[in-house]
Structure 1
Amino acid sequence: MEKILVSSCLLGQPVRYDGKGQTLQHPQLRVWQSNKKIVSFCPEVAGGLSTPRAPAEIIQGRVITNSGEDVTEQFQTGANIALEVCKKNKVRFALLKESSPSYGRNTIYDGKHRGV
């Protein structure tokens, strides 16, 4: 059975940098959950970062927290684990948190920690 990778924070799990979730309320999620199609995943936590943690943004190809710590390695580790989880679980689709330095597809922050 094909599965769907879903950002853990979108399922309400408190894994975001601020220690909170960002629950996505949609009836289709309940259907997928009841059919055991969802694989919940947080690459930051899988990569070894704590919750809560300092916010991080991508700056010139590196992932840097607002306090100047380089967490690129943890983000890369989390991405590699995500790939393995997807392969193992035959994930075909993903529902990911936009604007995240791990998942942002259409938008990410500008790397200057200004909320832009």
Structure 2
Amino acid sequence: IRMAELTLQPDACVAQIAREHGINDNLLFNWRNLHRQGLLAPANRAALIPITMEPVTPPPRQNGVVSTDIPPVISCRLTLPGGSLNLTGPLTPELLRTLIIELRDVSHD
């Protein structure tokens, strides 16, 4: 967003700004157009990510009663362009929140 805003300054040269930041000028022109249309979101704004729900195997039963001795298994599979990450175990909201924050920070480096 910062680079797109730089292109909107009076006498700004998009090609020069792109060179200074090591990116293609066509990419910066695209970002500038998206910014003008209000389609670029600030980095601190919450982002939605697609999820899929898979059926869960029901817990085992003994004599028609669900066994409470076996803790439920919770798992999460995160599929990224470079590979997949499988998490199994006690997935707390705090753990998932931290994972999302860390992934977001890495993608902005």
TM-score (norm 1): 0.22
Structure with more helix by fraction: 2
- Using CA pairs under 8 Å that are at least 6 residues apart, name the structure with larger relative contact order, 1 or 2: 1
Larger radius of gyration: 2
Structure with more strand by fraction: 1
TM-score (norm 2): 0.23
